[in-house]
Amino acid sequence: MSDYAVLVPELTVSLPKRQTIASGLDAFSHAAEGYLSRLATPMTDAICEKIMFLLVNYLPRAVADGTDIKARERVLSAASLAGWMLNNAGTNLGHSTAHILGAKYHLVHGEAVAYALPGVLELVNETMPTKVKEIGKILGVEFALDDTPAIVLQKTRAAYCHFRDELVDLHPFSDYQLAKAELLTNVDAILHERFAQNTPVELTPKKVTRFLCEFG
């Protein structure tokens, strides 16, 4: 682990748009998965919430205008904190999926975790509905007092996909031209990847299969 991180936003202004998108969404997933991890604590939760807040507010700006130094600075700070959270709260099934599929099919890592996050939200909603709702609030969702956990999940997923696909402009998973049947050949490998154990539900082949069916 590093002792220091030197963050110079001016050095990121020429980063290509697609790499800005992938690295920014990877940082968001570090925070969201750490927030939804068995290793999460009140201290890591507070930092993960701030990371997600910064990325929701500044990543679209950094993507739209790579020379926006304030946006680059905020995104860079969020990404550094997200790396810190990786070593404190860990990640979960989303990163396990990206590690396995990325190595086998050459999916860009930050894109893969972004495609995985909606399924992660659904998977953990049964055990962490309050945290799923908090992520929704960070994404700008206004919930009604009588919203059920299922409705909260639906709204949060929709808000994240809007952020990911419309505001940040991630290209669709279909561009990789990978059939669902091919993805399902990786259930066992994903189930036993080391970060999967941090997922706050008991994972089974059936749950991972359902998760992969929604990947993208």
Question: Which phi and psi (to 5°) does residue 115 adopt?
Answer: -65, -30
* pLDDT number for residue 3: 85
What total of structural domains would you count in the chain?
1
Q: What is the rounded average pLDDT of the residues 107-121?
A: 98
Residue 5 pLDDT level (bands cut at 50, 70, 90)? confident
* pLDDT number for residue 44: 97
Residue 77 makes CB contacts below 8 A (sequence gap 6+) with 7, 54
Cα separation, 144 vs 126, in Å, equals 19
Residue 82's CATH number: 1.20.1090.10
* pLDDT number for residue 1: 72
Q: With respect to residue 4, please indicate whether it lies within any of the assigned structural domains.
A: no
pTM of the model: 0.96
**DSSP 8-class letter at 171:** P
Instruction: Give the number of other Cβ atoms within 10 Å of residue 179's Cβ.
Output: 7
The answer to whether the CB of 168 falls within 8 A of the CB of 21 is: yes
The answer to whether the CB of 114 falls within 8 A of the CB of 170 is: yes
Reference 101, options 85, 87, 82, 115; nearest CA is 115
Residue 115 makes CB contacts below 8 A (sequence gap 6+) with 173, 215, 216
Residue 2 pLDDT level (bands cut at 50, 70, 90)? confident
- Per the structure, the complete domain to which residue 64 belongs is given by 15-213
Q: Look at residue 147 and tell me whether its pLDDT is greater than 90.
A: yes
* pLDDT number for residue 80: 95
Q: With respect to residue 96, please indicate whether it lies within any of the assigned structural domains.
A: yes
Residue 152 makes CB contacts below 8 A (sequence gap 6+) with 125, 129, 132, 133, 136, 143
| Average pLDDT score over the chain | 96
Q: What is the rounded average pLDDT of the residues 199-209?
A: 96
Q: With respect to residue 2, please indicate whether it lies within any of the assigned structural domains.
A: no
**pLDDT tens digits along 155-174:** 999 999 999 999 999 999 99
Q: With respect to residue 8, please indicate whether it lies within any of the assigned structural domains.
A: no
**pLDDT tens digits along 116-145:** 999 999 999 999 999 999 999 999 999 999
Q: With respect to residue 46, please indicate whether it lies within any of the assigned structural domains.
A: yes
Q: With respect to residue 7, please indicate whether it lies within any of the assigned structural domains.
A: no
Q: With respect to residue 34, please indicate whether it lies within any of the assigned structural domains.
A: yes
Cα separation, 159 vs 84, in Å, equals 26
